[in-house]
Amino acid sequence: MDSQALRSKQDDAKLHIVLFPWLAFGHMIPYLELAKLVAQRGHHVSFVSTPRNIDRLPKLPPNLTPFISFVKIPLPHVPNLPENAEATTDLPENKVPFLKQAYNLLEEGITGFLDAAAPDWVLHDFTAYWLVPIATKLGIACGFLSIFTASALCFFNPSGQDHRTEPEDFTVAPKWVPFPSRVAFRYFEVVKIFNNAIAGDASGTSDMHRFEACLRGCDLLAVRSCTELEPEWLRLLEQLYQKPVVPVGQLPPILPHGGDDDEDETWLEIKGWLDKQAGGSVVYVAFGSEAKPNQTELTEIALGLEQSELPFFWALKLKRGPCDIEVIQLPEGFEERTKGRGVVCTSWAPQLKILSHPSICGFLSHSGWTSVVEALQLERPLILLTFLADQGLNASFLREKKMGCLIPRNEEDGSFTREAVARSLRLVVVEEGDKFYRDKAKEMRAVFGDRDRQNQYVDTLVSCLKEHRRHVHKAARAN
């Protein structure tokens, strides 16, 4: 076979890609969206996680089931980790470090799987910092698939040159950012995550160390981002890490278009209420699978919604798993006073379906990037209230890009008032003088909801993965 024919054969050969996300649904869901997009091109994807998490993922379209395999690796038991807790949503925040301990112990199971499956690539999350040497030893290419934005990765820059040691150091743009930027944490945001992310937590390893090890060893950095949104940050990312940086798009979920789940009683009840509301009148309120307000925050949010006089649908998380002992309650009489105008749902709610309903006019959100993507692909303006992790950086980035309105808070302790909540809601979704946020959300649909553009990003990623395989085969023949 001549060289041209051999190259053509390699180009046509289908890839086998392993995806290994962190045990949080804000990570697993975008990983799954990428799996579906890769599978649509005829490549095989092995999606690795723990049994309970895989069982809780959305069902695959029938046409993709031959191309995506779910690999269940049991989560080892560690002290202080409650039984059946396999994702961050199952745990209060102070128990998450023990989940990271257990995640580290998945090393043996995934090593055995990779050795037997011999995939072309493994794309992993920041928590799997120990996977790089394993993949290298097995001759498998390794890519760090970041669900964090390029701006967040640049902000942390765990390259060994970061001398920031105090929380205050993280409230300003880092010195290595060569262009004007206000992307940074507020003091109360960084204090809340400082030990886990920078200093190290009960798992024994800081998140900064995990990032550094992943970035140092990976062959490629794939980022949930796009050049239309943050071109300057993507360029800086490549300069900082000296790695190929491949944006994979925003990975928006496919919008619901009917099907068996439309017969779900929960959705039918929610839809029935939304159908009775005026078009573009209802604020949707949700803070993701992990964020849970404390009692003071809950009270101010509730009374702010009441003061706003706007219709609302609130998906409220009262507990993070069965071992969460912090009890929070709505203010006395709140539900009675807002009856008919608002609904508080304390069980699971189908967020994408709710956001896509024509009665929704805005989204009070925690700034989790998956929620941001879902909202902006549907032209829903954002009112932002952060709680944990990278949400502060996301909110700061959205504010800088004029894509979201942050509820005013005390910079030291993060406190806010019901008046600030009410005023921010009305500013974004009602007042004619400030239609800016609504217009910006409509503009952003072209970035976050364009399926053709998303497909182009995935095509580029697949081409990069194939190109690497071709170089590996060429080097093997030379030896």
Which residues have a catalytic role annotated? 27, 125
Q: How far is CA 219 from CA 62, 143, 244, 253, 461, in A?
A: 33, 6, 8, 27, 13
Residues in the chain, overall count? 479
Report the candidate in 133, 137, 130 with the shortest Cα–Cα distance to residue 115. Answer: 137
Rounded distance between C-alpha atoms, residue 289 and residue 320, angstroms: 8
* Pair 150, 223: CB distance under 8 Å: yes
Q: State which H helix or E strand residue 222 sits in.
A: strand 220-223
Residue 44: phi, psi to the nearest 5?
-95, 135
CA–CA distance, 289 with 181 (Å, rounded to integer): 30
- What does the alpha-carbon distance between residue 29 and residue 252 come to, in Å, rounded to a whole number? 10
DSSP state of 310: -
d(CA 269, CA 313): 12
Residue 410: other Cβ atoms inside 10 A = 12
Q: Radius of gyration over alpha carbons of the chain, in Å?
A: 23
Please spell the DSSP secondary structure of 335-372, one letter per residue.
HHHTBTTEEEE-S---HHHHHHSTTEEEEEE---HHHH
At residue 335, φ and ψ (nearest 5 deg) are: -65, -35
How far apart are the C-alpha atoms of 222 and 244, rounded to whole Å? 8
Longest dimension (CA), the chain: 79
Type of residue numbered 410: N
Residues 105 and 100: their CA atoms lie apart, in Å, by 9
